[in-house]
Amino acid sequence: MSDHPWRSVPPVPSVVPLKRWVAAQADGLTRTQFARLVAYRAVLLAASLLLVLWAMTGGGTFWPGWAWLGLAAPLLLDLSWRLPRRLETVASQRVALIWALIATATLLLLGTWVMAGIDGDVTRFWPEWPLFGLTTGGIAYSVFTLHDRVLLAQGRRTLRARVDLLSTSRRATIDAQAAELRRIERDLHDGAQARLVALALHLGRAELRLDDQPEVQALIHDAQREADTAIAELRDLARGIVPPLLADRGLVAAVQALAAQSPLGTRVTADVGRPLEPAVENAAYFVIAEAVTNTTKHAAAEHSWVRLRADRRGLDLEVGDDGCGGADPSGSGLAGLRARVEALDGTLVVHSPPGEGTRLEVRLPCGS
C-alpha cells in the first residue's frame, strides 16, 4: 500500500484539458509572451461580454465605451513600450517611445471626447490644448535627442578618424624605424666592420715582418688583439640590431638558422609565401629567439617547435615545448615580448599549465 494515497487519486477531468490548452498555447513562447497573450485575450473577452450585456439590457446609452477605454489603456501602453524596442539605437528608441506614448494619450483623449459627445456633454473640441501640448513636447524632445545623437555621431567619427590617423602614423614610424635599423646593420657590416677586419689583416702582416723588433711586434700584436675584440663586439652589436641572415634572406631562413643552433634541435614548420614587412619580421624573429632561449634555459624540455603561417591579414607564429610548464604570463621576459608585439597591434597568448609544457601564440597584423 502506498504511503501517500493521494498520489493514486486520478486528476480532475476538467483540469487535464486546461493544462493541455495552456501547454498548446505556450508552445514556443516565453513566460512574458504567454502572459501577454492571455491578457490580450482576456481583454477581448471582457469587451465582448460587456457589449453582449449592453445589448441584452435594451441598449440605450452606450456605457460599454467607457469600460473599453479603461481596458484599452494598458494594451496601448504595452504596445507603446514594445514597438520602440525593435529599433537599433538608444536615441531612436527614446524618440519612438515618446511618440508612442503621445499616440496612446491622443487615442485616449479622442475616445473620451467621443464618448462624452455620445452622452451629450460636449459642446466643443476640448482635447485640442492637451494635444497641442503633447505634440509640442514631443517635437522638442525629438529635436534635442536627435541633435545630441548627431553631435555624438560626429564626435565618434572624429575620434575614429583620429585613432586611424594615429595608428597609421605609429605603424609608419615603426616601419621606418625597422628600415633604419636594417640600414644601420648594413652600414656596420659593410663599413666599420669590414675596415676593422682589413686593419687586423694588415696588423698581422706587419707583425710577421718585424721578427727582429720584438717590442714593436708586441705592440702590433696587442693592437691586432684589440681589433679582433672590436670586430667581435661590433658583430654582436649588429646581430643584436638585426641579424644579417634576417636582413638578407628573410624570416624563415633566420629562424631555421636559429633553430639549428638550439641544443634541443628545434623543429621549424613554415608557410610564409611572401615577403613580410621589416617591422613584422624583426618582431617575430626576436620573439622566437627569446622564447627558444627561455626554453633552453628554464623549460627542462626534450623537444621544442616553431610554427609560422602568413596570410593576407597577418602572421601567426607558435613557439612550444614539452617541458615543465608553469611560466608566469606576467613575468618580465614575457612582458617585454608582449610589449614588442602590441607595438604592432598584435596579440600574444601564453599557455603554460604546470607539467604540460609551454606554448606561445602570437598574431602580428600585416599590410595587404
Residue 251 has a CB neighbour count (10 Å cut-off) of: 23
Nearest to 337 by CA among 278, 276, 294: 294
pLDDT band at 12 (very low <50, low <70, confident <90, very high): very low
- Give the domain ranges of the chain: 17-126, 163-241, 249-365
Nearest to 194 by CA among 150, 244, 242, 240: 244
pLDDT of residue 26: 58
Ramachandran bin of 3, using left for φ above 0, alpha for ψ from -120 to 50, beta for the remaining angles:
alpha
Which grid cell sits at 69?
477605454
User: Mean pLDDT across the stretch 269-295?
Assistant: 84
Give tens-digit pLDDT for 29-71.
677 777 777 777 888 888 888 888 877 877 667 777 777 777 7
In this predicted structure, the answer to whether residue 354 has a pLDDT above a threshold of 50 is yes
For the chain, the average pLDDT equals: 75
pLDDT at position 308? 92
Please state, for a pLDDT cut of 70, what percent of the chain lies above it: 71
Q: Which helix (H) or strand (E) holds 318?
A: strand 314-321
Residue bearing the bigger pLDDT, 300 or 239: 300
Residue in this structure with the C-alpha cell 600574444, named with its chain if needed = 348
What average pLDDT does the segment 316-334 reach? 83
Question: Average pLDDT of 279-290?
Answer: 85
pLDDT tens, residue by residue, 95-154: 788 888 888 888 888 888 887 777 666 567 778 888 888 888 888 877 877 776 777 777
Q: Check if the beta carbon of residue 268 is closer than 8 Å to that of residue 293.
A: no
HSE-up (13 A, CA, CB side) for residue 326:
8
215-242, pLDDT tens digit by residue? 766 777 777 777 777 666 666 655 555 6
pLDDT in tens, 68-82: 777 777 777 777 777
Reported as a pLDDT band with limits 50, 70 and 90, residue 185 is: low
Pairing assessment for the beta strands 314-321 and 359-365 based on DSSP bridges: antiparallel
pTM across the whole model: 0.46
The pLDDT score that the predictor gives to residue 4 is 45
The class (CATH top level) of 249-365 is alpha beta
Q: How confident is the model at residue 207 (pLDDT cuts 50, 70, 90)?
A: low
Alpha-carbon separation of residue 185 from 233, 249, 296 (angstroms):
13, 14, 27
- Reply yes or no on whether the pLDDT at 2 is more than 50: no
Q: What is the mean pLDDT of residues 322-339?
A: 80
